[in-house]
Amino acid sequence: MNYPHLFTPITINSLTLKNRVIMGSMHVGLEGEEDGMNKLIAFYERRAKADVGLIVTGGAAVCPEGSGGRNFMSIYNDEDITHWKPLTQAVHQQGGRIALQLFHAGRYAYKAMTGLDPVAPSAIQSPINPDVPVAMSEKQIVDTIEAFGLGAKRAKEAGFDAVEIMGSEGYLINQFLSPATNKREDDWGGSFQKRNTFALEIIKAVRAQVGANYPVIFRMSGLDLVDNSTTEEETVAFAKLCEKAGVDLLNIGIGWHESRVPTISMKVPRMKFVPIAQMIHQAVSIPVVASNRINNPDDAETIIKENKADLISMARPFLADPDILIKAKEGHTNEINTCIACNQACLDHVFEGKSATCLVNPEAGRELTLSIETATTKKHIVVIGAGPAGLEASRVAAMRGHHVTLIDEKAYIGGQLNFAKSVPGKTEFNETLRYYDVQLAKYGVTRLLNTTATVDTPVVKEADEVILATGIIPRTPEIQGIEQDYVLSYRDVFTGAVPEGKDIVIIGGGGIACDLASFLLDKKDYSITLLQRGKSFARGIGKTTRWATLLSLKKNGVQMIGGIEYEKLENKTLTIKKDAEPVHIKADTFITASGQLTNEVLFKELQHKGIPVHLIGGANQAFGLDAKRAIYEGTKIGRSV
């Protein structure tokens, strides 16, 4: 595909973009690290040189109380002008264009982070924040409107090519717009017209400060996904009001952070929310941006071609592969490292106060430390194990010029990624497997599949160095009578074993056990019970997706019993203790999914033989299906051998 629509320039006010793709706003947290500014500049430079039409920064707070946290950008002091100039200059030197997002968290701001009380249109606490916000006074409202305008002025002076007003995702402006959070009875709340006033006054203040010829983008909520909030009719009417107030481009956001409907995880079908952007696109004459779960050029081209939107916002796809547009333009889409919307290293990191990176691309956010350098001495590197750690180690070592041989006992690559891809809602892992398959071929990695490596395997004995990435071994829990033919391991089931009967007990309640339950329910109408010693289920699944996993399992009737002790298993009956009382649970099949053991036997044998060997991935630490950690270890060892 040539992508003629995607690579057609478009002019937004006085700014001409080289294509129809915006890198959407993401908070990456780099600015709070040591040497943070240089790290942030390197992060944005890397994307600017890869032909993105317009980069939108993470949210820059226009007021101290509206900050997203300690490591967030700000634009409320004149010193910020000087502070951000090196960033805009660096992006421009790479031929890029960059917009600053004007941001106020409202009731989503954490007092522990800002040291200030969060503010909101009404004193209604968010379900995801421990702080009750203070209802804004008339003066605070007027001052905040002015702060948005002055923030825009500073952004322009700092060299940003445009500003985006953050009015979506449940932040302050969105809180004023919604009847669910705006219960005011003055001129700033109540009727639809009054709830709009705050947003429209901000648009006017921004326009007054930047002038008629400067691009102003408004990120508006196309669909709140919270109860008793803005209606579809109000949303369309508000879009028209934004156009009338002087907005040049509408960027359509979906959902609030507190929404109990997934919007950006891999459970959400691709392009799920494009019809929302299309609805607004049909109602206004200014350009409209579609966003959320658009992760490849083919879909983006189709959206533009079919006139469903004028531009596409891809945020995390540029974490996964900064060169996504270059590869599309050059006809190498099979080489794109596709964003799988796992959230594990981006959103989950941010919610944990860490810097964002990417599971499938650990270089994201580490541009200054994870560079690729050609190997000075070319070696024969043997990688044993074709799971995520071994695949990444092979790719990077081969890129650097080493001759790499990859060995695996299976007939296919991927290791436990093949389990993950078979779980409903996780088929995006197929993209990661496709990417590595193409990369291994591109860089000439020799594959020895269906091969069990030993210390006596000729290619192992002849290697200059061996990287051992043999993964993990499922742990069998210490339960009397566990060695029965009606007891399977999770690996047995994922590789084809079919449980007998309808009633299934899964011994374990972590991420693997939950994935296994979803996998089984997709095959048959099983009755499933999860058991574990701990009380918190789905441990190991990130904060942004864990709730959705548990909600789905509960909707499908999965029972979860925690805080137990195992006694014995006999006659298809497991005896446990719950609250010190014995409980007998019958099932047709029992499946163990309660942890893993390191697989390091071969490592010790290779060491004994004096063969230089490195131990990485699950073979090194029992972290199960943690592909994020495995790929990171693989990329580090691939650079060091």
Segment holding 90, helix H or strand E: helix 79-93
Short-list 565, 567, 566, 517, CA closest to 537: 517
Would you say 488 and 497 are in contact if contact means Cβ atoms under 8 Å apart? yes
Question: What is d(CA 457, CA 493) in angstroms, rounded to the nearest whole number?
Answer: 30
Q: Does the annotation mark 171 as catalytic?
A: yes
Name the DSSP letter for residue 584.
E
Question: What is d(CA 369, CA 405) in angstroms, rounded to the nearest whole number?
Answer: 26
Q: Which ranges of 306-457 would DSSP assign to H, the alpha helix?
A: 317-320, 324-329, 347-351, 388-399, 417-420, 429-442
Catalytic residue among 44, 76, 108, 171: 171
Q: Burial code of 68-84, b = ≥16 C-beta within 10 A, e = fewer?
A: bbebbbbbbeeebbebb
Question: What is d(CA 444, CA 181) in angstroms, rounded to the nearest whole number?
Answer: 57
Residue 48 to residues 85, 149, 160, 235, Cα–Cα distance (Å): 15, 27, 13, 33
Burial class (CB in 10 A: 0-12, 13-18, 19+), 203: buried
Residue 355 to residues 31, 349, 562, Cα–Cα distance (Å): 9, 6, 33
**306 Cβ contact list (under 8 Å, min separation 6):** none
Helices (H) and strands (E) in the chain, counts: 21, 28
- Residue matched to tokens 């499946």: 591
What amino acid occupies position 160? Answer: F
Paired with 17 in beta bridges are 10
CA torsion sign for 181, 186, 190, 196 is: negative
Tell me the catalytic residues.
171
